[in-house]
A and B are shown apart, each in its own frame.
Chain A
Amino acid sequence: MSYRNYVIAAYAVFAAMLLWDYLAPKLQLSQALRAIRLQYRRDAARRKPGAQA
């Protein structure tokens, strides 16, 4: 008995887990960096002379 399908399914689950573990922090990081850039732009606009308080 080869049980090939079970082996393929198990390795596919493992690969999917690794892919998620790689992509999830990347997504979190890009969101955090984007939020910082937006906040910096808002703060810079507020500090400009003549900007409304």
Chain B
Amino acid sequence: MNPVLRWFHQLGSPPYFDRFAARWAPWCYGLGALAMAWGVYGALFQVPADYQQGDSFRILYIHVPCAWMSMAVFALMAVYAAIALVWRIKLCEILAMACAPAGAAFTVATLATGSIWGKPMWGTWWDWDPRLTTELILLFLYLGVIGLYHAIDDRRQAARAAGLLAVVGIVLLPVIHYSVTWWNSLHQGQTISLFGESKMDPSMLPPLWWMVLGTHVWFVGSLLARARADNLRREAGKDWAAQAAGAAS
């Protein structure tokens, strides 16, 4: 068998995943924190203040990566959930459900940092603007997935029900993305492009890319740690779990 394919199959085994997550989660947290620390240093001390917004534009360096993560994590959760629904792979159920709290946290950070930026720039903490409203709906969807997962006793049924909500909820992502184009919006249009030309001066962008990299790597650490905990809870009666917990020799 192809080694990559074999590794992929091995990863689906709960004990193998436990060892994998235990090994790599701390590295991801550490590397993510380092990348973000470098990004924050650049954002606060290296790039000059904006000629119109002053220092308030520095909030962008955390707001934009959080906003991207809020949507990327939801997309990943929906992909895992779809795989779990179709092929009944237990690990994919676990990973899908592990995405939700981290994604919700990034969404809260997006809304909070956007609100803090909005007060001095727009003169208000909140506006029922299409971008803000759709991002708030995304938070409610995350909370719905988390709530549904914890409302049903049977873990597998709970994951399937919550996964279905995640799959259906993915229709919101293009609405969030294009909300600034489809409707008159207080929120500015696309300023930063991952692949095309950004409207920001290139000298201002490096801290943002460090933050984007850092948040992604950090999220992988968080995902592995949460999935490991859920995996152990589900496999509590197995010998390998007792060994992992240090109960059995």
The prevalent SS among residues of B at the interface is helix
Complex Cα gap A33–B222 (Å):
17
Stretch at the interface among B106-114, B155-163, B176-184: B106-114
B109 nearest in chain A by CB position:
A17
A29 touches B116 (CB 8 A): no
A39 touches B109 (CB 8 A): no
Identify which of B33, B44, B59, B232 contacts A32 (C-beta below 8 A): B232
* Any A CB within 8 A of the CB of B127: no
* Any A CB within 8 A of the CB of B168: no
Encoded as 1 (CB less than 8 Å from any B CB) or 0, chain A from 7 to 36 comes to 101110110011011101110110111111
| Set of chain B residues within 8 Å of A17, measured between Cβ atoms | 66, 105-106, 108-109
A38 nearest in chain B by CB position:
B247
Size range of the interface on A?
20 to 34
Identify which of B112, B120, B222 contacts A3 (C-beta below 8 A): B120
B233 touches A7 (CB 8 A): no
B106 touches A40 (CB 8 A): no
Identify which of A25, A29, A36, A41 contacts B236 (C-beta below 8 A): A36
Residues of B within 8 A of A (CB): 29, 33, 36, 40, 44, 49, 53-56, 58-59, 62-63, 66, 101-102, 105-106, 108-109, 112-113, 116-117, 119-120, 218, 222, 225-226, 228-230, 232-233, 236-237, 241-242, 244-248
9 A-B pairs, CB-CB below 8 angstroms? Answer: A6-B116, A7-B55, A10-B117, A13-B116, A14-B109, A24-B226, A25-B228, A28-B230, A29-B229
Counting from the closest, the 9 A-B pairs by CB-CB distance are A25-B225, A40-B247, A28-B229, A3-B56, A36-B245, A32-B232, A29-B229, A10-B59, A33-B245
